[in-house]
Structure 1
């Protein structure tokens, strides 16, 4: 009788362990594209990421750097006042209306062969907004200027 209870407990523990492993694998699979790390141009200059790593690059669009290529594709430079990163945007949509030179932006994509290849752009949604990550980066480098002052 005791050996039957012992077998049942072992079976329950094995089933619970397998369920835990399956849950962890499914959560990891679900987050594989959902976890996008943010980097500034200075951080990118310090450590080059793997070419297959999808992440967010944020900073200011450098004055005079936007050059149209064809269709919705164009090139520009993101800077944090210390380092600059050339960006090629090839997305499905045109640039956001408020995407302009000297303004904060976040590009999502891959860093390959010395150039950031963006497939999505986030820009401010009003005259004074700047993404928190970009603002923090610019404050660290001493470039940030409060638009309300």
Structure 2
């Protein structure tokens, strides 16, 4: 093999190796930052395919805050509350300021680390608002721009 072909082969192999290493590192980084979503029932019993999160795994959990379950530490910003769906309850511990929409009976999504089988230490808590919420400005604009339909007598009788 002449030197020119050796040089091209070396360059091609280096290029293939570089692209492979780049793709491998990207997949590794994406896998490390992936947070799987669980409901409290899936967290305790496992997903339908049999997977259960391991202690120390980052995850997101979503459900309804159980009534009378919020406990606040008077000395700090630590808050503990239970979240449930249709099955078992899971305790969420959080240190920080909760969102304004957070309250008992409200849906939340918490992102954090699984401490034990039924406890999540959250780094972020997001409160969900109900689906019928509409900012006042948009509601006012909707009322101005859309007049109720007035039907003629023919339309009311269905003979138009």
CA gap 1:129/1:22 in 2 versus in 1, 3 angstroms = farther
Structure ranking higher on relative contact order (CA contacts 8 Å, 6+ apart)? 1
Report the RMSD for the aligned CA atoms in angstroms: 2.3
Residues 1:54 and 2:53 are matched in the alignment: no
- 1:71 paired residue among 76, 92, 98: 76
Please say if residues 99 and 105 of structure 1, whose CA atoms lie closer than 8 Å, have aligned partners that are also in contact: yes
**Deviations, residues 113-146 of structure 1 (Å, cap 9, x unaligned):** 331111111112x45479xxxxxxxxxxxxxxxx
Residue equivalent to 1:113: 116
Q: How does 1:110-149 map to 2 (within 5 A)?
A: 110-114=113-117, 115-124=119-128, 126-128=129-131
Gaps of 5+ in 2: 47-51, 134-160
Q: Which has the larger radius of gyration?
A: 2
Gaps of 5+ in 1: 131-149
Give the TM-score normalised by the residue count of structure 1.
0.73
Residue equivalent to 1:44: 43
**C-alpha displacement at 1:45, in angstroms?**
1.0
Structure 1 Cα separation of the partners of residues 98 and 132 of structure 2: 17
Give the TM-score normalised by the residue count of structure 2.
0.68
